[in-house]
Structure 1
Amino acid sequence: MTEYLNVGKIVNTHGVQGELRVMSVTDFAEERFQVGNELTMFKPGETKPTKVKILTHRQHKNFDLITLENVYNLKLAEELKNSELKIEKDRVQALPEGEYYYHEILGCVVFAEDGSKIGEVKEVLETGANDVWVVKDAKGKDQLIPFIPSIVLEVDVAEKRIVIEVIEGLLS
């Protein structure tokens, strides 16, 4: 069975020519929405995904605006609202050492250097300077762990295990 990774969600239309407003959830929007690229679209309520081809791509404010092959007017575009755009997991390129995809970090268990379990990564926040991992601890409380070398000592995505240095004031 093919595994997919989210790259964006069609949140609205833009104009009357079939352009779609996409909320991107990928660090590689230029590559994912490149003209000629194929993505897999999952429409709400439908079980079978559809292959779609990107005809145009541009950025506008915080959105990616795309047009798709055979979607050439507002009526056709409106039918695609809330659809998820995904890419096959095996089409994702390897990242340089020390960089990770969100799907690799989510679900990892975070431990302190002494081996004590802190919790599980449930979300990744982009702050501009560095990512911050939201870790739910045993009490259900969110702990914010900055992804910086002085804090994050070891990441093993295969084992879903992260080791951090717990400095004073890091955990609440």
Structure 2
Amino acid sequence: MEQYLRVGVIASTHGLKGEVKVFPTTDEPERFRKLKKVFLDTGKEYLPLKIKSVKFFKNQVILKFDEFQDINEVEKYRGKDLLIDREQALPLAENENFIVDLIDMDVYDEEEQRLGTLTDVLQTGANDVYVVETEEGKEILLPAIPSCILEVDVEAAKMIVRIPEGLL
């Protein structure tokens, strides 16, 4: 399991005093109000940043960090991920998983026949859709609903599914 979870991506700078506009990748953007620190994935290291202030504008979060005082210091981090330690994550409800824990999971049908590898999760609004790539390079799109997703074992990186009639 990944130790760090992405909560946002720096979209651009905001003003001249080192603030950044962040596109939130969390289901709960309001959580930024409670966060005290995040880690900036610079591509070489995870740089700890202390959050000084949080504002919201449209679908973005505007953050000010103690470590940056002007636009020139933060401009180079456009497009970089903001992460939190897994321990800072919001608690999951029953049968919920972090997407990062599902990616690369082996997917099997009810008879334990391997279907392929889960490569992506599409968030459609109604329910998520799991993208499974088969050994032949084809994609199977599975709705993430209880009648289809029978078992998810994050520790074993294994998922057992029921293929809806007519899907294949």
TM-score with structure 2 setting the length: 0.86
Count of equivalent residues: 167
Mapping of residues 59-98 of structure 1, within 5 Å: 59-98=56-95
What SS is found at the alignment partner of 1:79?
A: helix
What SS is found at the alignment partner of 1:129?
A: coil
Task: Report the equivalent of 2:9.
Answer: 9
CA spacing shift, 1:93–1:62, aligned 2, 3 Å: closer
Task: Report the equivalent of 2:33.
Answer: 34
CA spacing shift, 1:58–1:132, aligned 2, 3 Å: farther
Supply the RMSD in Å over aligned alpha carbons.
2.1
Task: Report the equivalent of 1:169.
Answer: 166
What is the CA–CA distance in structure 1 between the aligned matches of 2:46 and 2:6, rounded to whole Å?
13
**What residue ranges of structure 2 are gaps of 5+ in the alignment?**
none
Which of 49, 52, 60 is the aligned partner of 2:49? 52
CA spacing shift, 1:141–1:36, aligned 2, 3 Å: closer
- AA in 2 matched with 1:73: D
Shift of 1:35: 5.2
What is the CA–CA distance in structure 2 between the aligned matches of 1:134 and 1:62, rounded to whole Å?
26
What SS is found at the alignment partner of 1:77?
A: helix
Shift of 1:17: 3.7
What is the CA–CA distance in structure 2 between the aligned matches of 1:159 and 1:94, rounded to whole Å?
21
Shift of 1:94: 4.0
2:109 corresponds to 1:109 = no
**What residue ranges of structure 1 are gaps of 5+ in the alignment?**
none
- AA in 2 matched with 1:66: L
Which of 130, 133, 149 is the aligned partner of 2:130? 133
CA spacing shift, 1:66–1:6, aligned 2, 3 Å: same
Shift of 1:70: 3.7
Shift of 1:164: 1.1
Q: Which moved more, 1:154-163 or 1:89-98?
A: 89-98
Moved over 6 A (4+): none
TM-score with structure 1 setting the length: 0.84
